[in-house]
Amino acid sequence: MPQKRVLTIQDYSCMGRCSLTVAIPTLSALGIETIGLPTAVLSNHTQFASWTFIDLTSSLIPSVEKWKSYNHHFDFLYTGYLATNQIEIVASILTRLKEEGTKVYIDPAFADNGKMYPGFQDEHPLLMRKLIAIADYVKPNLSEACFLTGTPIPASGKVSKEEAMELAKKIQSLGAKNVILSGLSFEEGKLDVLLLEEGKGFSLVEGDKLEGLYHGTGDLFSSAVVGKLTLGKDLKSAVEDSHNYIASSIRYTVEDKLDGLLYGVEFEKALPELLK
């Protein structure tokens, strides 16, 4: 079987285990040729006190032009954190590179805990809808789903299963074929992911909620899901495997007493479990 190829478009934060620094090793460990297109290079992610930043927006289109001249095929196109001014550029890249058999996975990556990340304004979720319109898979968390659909964010930070289902349907109505709605908790001590699949309807993946704050777990989750889907797993199995991968990574982080908010989770130790 020919080796699968994935393109992932997001920033490269050198220290802190997020974005490309977790996407490339996770996908590569699964035996997938992984092409990273960095949108920016940071010395470390922005939970640190300070950082350096190099904007690579101007390099995105020239890189794609070069690839098109080689006639490369991508099995998956996967986006993560993007600056607002990069969304329309990336939308044009996805449209140009998507061929028969190519799938598109969008991780909106712009909000959490009821707030958009620093630097994002009201137009960001509106522009993000352009990516969702061409997505085969989209993975918003609860906050992002609310911003994307104009739904008031609940003061409690929680929604019922019925409310989550309505949110997922609104996201799907924006054009995405399959919705992976994360950041849910329908029972105390549980962390849930609601799936809405084209032609199949709803299903739920449940897991234990682990205490603590950990940076980059959303990036890690999406990378594992994309990897499993690329290798032919169905969506629910891919999400279950990825859920377990994150849980194991967090457990290793807690055992080693690592600051997971700054340095992310020890996914390297959990990779063998993801490969099983």
Query: Which range of residues forms the domain containing residue 126?
Result: 5-275
Mean pLDDT, range 44-70, rounded to an integer: 93
The predicted structure's pLDDT at residue 47: 85
**Of residues 194 and 46, more confidently modeled:** 194
Structure tokens at 264: 């992310």
Instruction: Please tell me the total count of domains within the chain.
Output: 1
Residues in the chain: 276
| Confidence at 69, pLDDT banded by 50, 70, 90 | confident
pLDDT tens for 29-42 read 999 999 999 999 99
Whether 158 shows a pLDDT value over 80: the answer reads yes
Whether 122 shows a pLDDT value over 80: the answer reads yes
Instruction: Give the position of tokens 């899901």.
Output: 225
DSSP letter string, the chain: -PPPEEEEEEEEEEESS-THHHHHHHHHHTT-EEEEEEEEEEEE-TTSS---EEE-HHHHHHHHHHHHHHT---SEEEE----GGGHHHHHHHHHHH--TT-EEEE---SEETTEEPTT--THHHHHHHHHHTT-SEE--BHHHHHHHHTPPPPTTS---HHHHHHHHHHHHHTT-SEEEEEEE-SSTTEEEEEEEETTTEEEEEEEEPPPS--TTHHHHHHHHHHHHHHTT--HHHHHHHHHHHHHHHHHHHHHTT--HHHH---HHHHHHHHH-
Whether 157 shows a pLDDT value over 90: the answer reads no
| Confidence at 217, pLDDT banded by 50, 70, 90 | very high
The pTM score is 0.96
Work out whether strand 76-79 and strand 103-106 pair parallel, antiparallel, or are unpaired.
parallel
The predicted structure's pLDDT at residue 13: 95
Whether 1 shows a pLDDT value over 80: the answer reads no
CATH number for the domain spanning 15: value is 3.40.1190.20
The predicted structure's pLDDT at residue 42: 95
How much is the mean pLDDT over the chain? 95
Whether 222 shows a pLDDT value over 90: the answer reads yes
Mean pLDDT, range 142-171, rounded to an integer: 94
The predicted structure's pLDDT at residue 46: 87
Mean pLDDT, range 116-123, rounded to an integer: 90
The count of other CB atoms within 10 Å of the CB of residue 108 is: 27
pLDDT tens for 231-275 read 999 999 999 999 999 999 999 999 999 999 999 999 999 999 999
The predicted structure's pLDDT at residue 118: 84
How far apart are alpha carbons 125 and 51 in whole angstroms?
25
